[in-house]
């Protein structure tokens, strides 16, 4: 699919885009009139409230291109946003964030509107827990997140033949006290063939470096559905350690100072790059016997051999059998 670089008039949706997404024009306010929820690479996410004249409409989360992007990156992110909108519109699953609209805001920027239910990202919750020194999430909560994520991945892999391509805590949204758990940000998804393998020669696995499996770091690595499973395993690790994979492991503390503030000069680049694609260690002193199933699941999902990792369907089956 071609990008959306041919936009000529800022207030008119192109016929090509209409034919791809068939979304009627929606009145999206300019960014300053919406609450900023977060940001990603090249994009910002806002809360759009929709209750005019006393009517009750559920709010939307609106993803827009960061206005500070230069023309080269803006074009790339616009194409990615268009691709994400097309993919998201085709997805219908309780563990995948729902599509609402794809249109232009009044300032001419392209917007992808998605369902919003007062969610925070799992990464937000991890950071809050770390800030308040609350320790690992309870094992039961981690297993609940694991089951719901695995159900979403099973749907993507088996029914839609899609690799998510960027699984991590910031791409999981949580409503309330883990009432709902949904995967978001399908903008870098890749098509899978009948063997669950990415075979398109033009396809490129983007991911996020600390969560990348070994095969995604190799020049000619074969990417399969198991790339998502490796990143899924590291997401469980995040909930146990409240850390980013491979980052905190490589900070030196030569003077014995207890200050854990990140200092770039103390970052061991060589150790970090050597650790990428491997299973990070766990401090077992912080985890009691209730975490046994979590640790076992994390360990098998982060095997360096993709063939030794379970499929999302196998994870769902195992967790449902255990009564999660």
- Residue 310 main-chain phi, psi, to 5 deg: -75, 160
Number of neighbours of residue 111 by Cβ within 10 angstroms: 24
For 53-115, give the DSSP string.
Answer: GG-----EEEEEE-TTS-HHHHHHHHHHHHHHHHHHHT---TTBPPEEEEEEBTTS-EEEEEE
Name 309's bridge partners: none
d(CA 146, CA 169): 11
d(CA 249, CA 289): 24
Q: Which residue in 104, 100, 96, 65 sits closest to 85, CA to CA?
A: 100
d(CA 301, CA 281): 14
d(CA 314, CA 312): 5
Question: What is the dihedral sign for C-alpha 213, 92, 200, 22?
Answer: negative
Clarify whether 166 is annotated catalytic: yes
Catalytic residue among 166, 185, 225, 228: 166
Task: List active site positions.
Answer: 166
């Amino acid at each position: 699919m071609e990008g959306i670089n041919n936009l000529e008039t800022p207030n008119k949706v192109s016929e090509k885009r209409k034919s791809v997404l068939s979304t009627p024009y929606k009145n999206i306010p300019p960014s300053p009139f919406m609450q900023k929820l977060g940001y990603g690479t090249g994009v910002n996410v806002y809360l759009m409230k929709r209750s005019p004249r006393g009517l009750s409409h559920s709010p939307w989360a609106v993803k827009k291109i960061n206005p500070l992007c230069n023309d080269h990156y803006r074009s790339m992110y616009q194409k990615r946003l268009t691709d994400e909108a097309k993919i998201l519109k085709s997805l219908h699953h309780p563990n995948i964030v729902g599509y609402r609209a794809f249109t232009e805001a009044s300032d001419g920027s392209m917007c992808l509107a998605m369902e919003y239910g007062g969610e925070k990202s799992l990464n937000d919750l991890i950071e809050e827990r770390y800030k308040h020194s609350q320790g690992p999430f309870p094992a039961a909560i981690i297993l609940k997140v694991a089951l719901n994520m695995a159900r979403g991945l099973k749907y993507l892999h088996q029914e839609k033949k899609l690799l998510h391509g960027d699984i991590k805590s910031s791409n999981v949204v949580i409503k309330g006290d883990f009432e709902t758990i949904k995967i978001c940000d399908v903008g870098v998804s890749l098509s899978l063939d009948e063997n669950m393998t990415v075979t398109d020669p033009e396809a490129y696995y983007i991911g996020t470096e600390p969560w990348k499996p070994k095969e995604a770091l190799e020049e000619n690595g074969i990417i399969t559905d198991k790339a998502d499973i490796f990143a899924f395993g590291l997401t469980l690790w995040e909930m146990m350690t409240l850390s980013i994979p491979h980052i905190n492991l490589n900070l030196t503390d030569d003077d014995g100072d207890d200050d854990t503030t990140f200092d770039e000069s103390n970052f061991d680049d060589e150790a970090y790059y050597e650790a990428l694609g491997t299973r990070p260690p766990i401090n077992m002193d912080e985890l009691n016997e209730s975490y046994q199933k979590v640790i076992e699941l994390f360990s098998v999902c982060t095997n360096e051999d993709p063939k030794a990792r379970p499929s999302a369907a196998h994870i769902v089956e195992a967790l449902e059998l255990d009564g999660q």
